[in-house]
Structure 1
């Protein structure tokens, strides 16, 4: 799976890691629902750290179609809420 972190590039993530990433994604959605910017920032940082730990960064000149787009760690509640709405109700940033 190819994941784009806005402002940071693309990462290739093994499919078997998606379940663990979904648990963190649930924390992101919960923070947005509760309008808690501090919790959102912490959850996004955790999601990014995990993506970077389990994934492989693609070279800047290697452009591939992204399966998922994750906001940057400094994203606002409204920015993430818009992304969640675009993904569909209940899906989170990472479907599944």
Structure 2
């Protein structure tokens, strides 16, 4: 699975990490739904850190992204507009 963080690049995550990725994404969705700023910051930082622990795809390689995350400086209000009932990561 390839995940892009906007303004930063792409990361390759092993397929067996998908359940864990969805769990971290679920925590973010709950924080955004609750409008909890502190929980949002913690959950979004955790999601970005999880993705960044994957293998960085070199900038000169082009791949379709399976998921696209907003930049790390995104606000709770911006995230509220992006998240559907399934979070940022489909599945």
Tell me the TM-score normalized by structure 1: 0.85
| Cα distance between partner residues in 2 of 1:63 and 1:40 | 31
Cα-Cα RMSD: 1.3
Structure 2 alignment gaps of length 5 or more: none
| Cα distance between partner residues in 2 of 1:6 and 1:70 | 6
Paired position in structure 2 for 1:17: 17
Paired position in structure 2 for 1:84: 83
Tell me the TM-score normalized by structure 2: 0.89
Does the Cα contact within 8 Å between 1:44 and 1:72 map onto a contact in 2? no
Does the Cα contact within 8 Å between 1:41 and 1:75 map onto a contact in 2? no
Paired position in structure 2 for 1:68: 67
| Cα distance between partner residues in 2 of 1:38 and 1:71 | 18
Ranges of 4+ aligned residues in structure 1 off by more than 3 Å:
none
Paired position in structure 1 for 2:89: 94
| Cα distance between partner residues in 1 of 2:49 and 2:21 | 10
| Cα distance between partner residues in 2 of 1:73 and 1:23 | 19
1:49-60 → structure 2 map (5 Å cutoff): 49-53=49-53, 55-60=54-59
Does the Cα contact within 8 Å between 1:12 and 1:56 map onto a contact in 2? yes
Paired position in structure 2 for 1:26: 26
| Cα distance between partner residues in 1 of 2:19 and 2:75 | 25
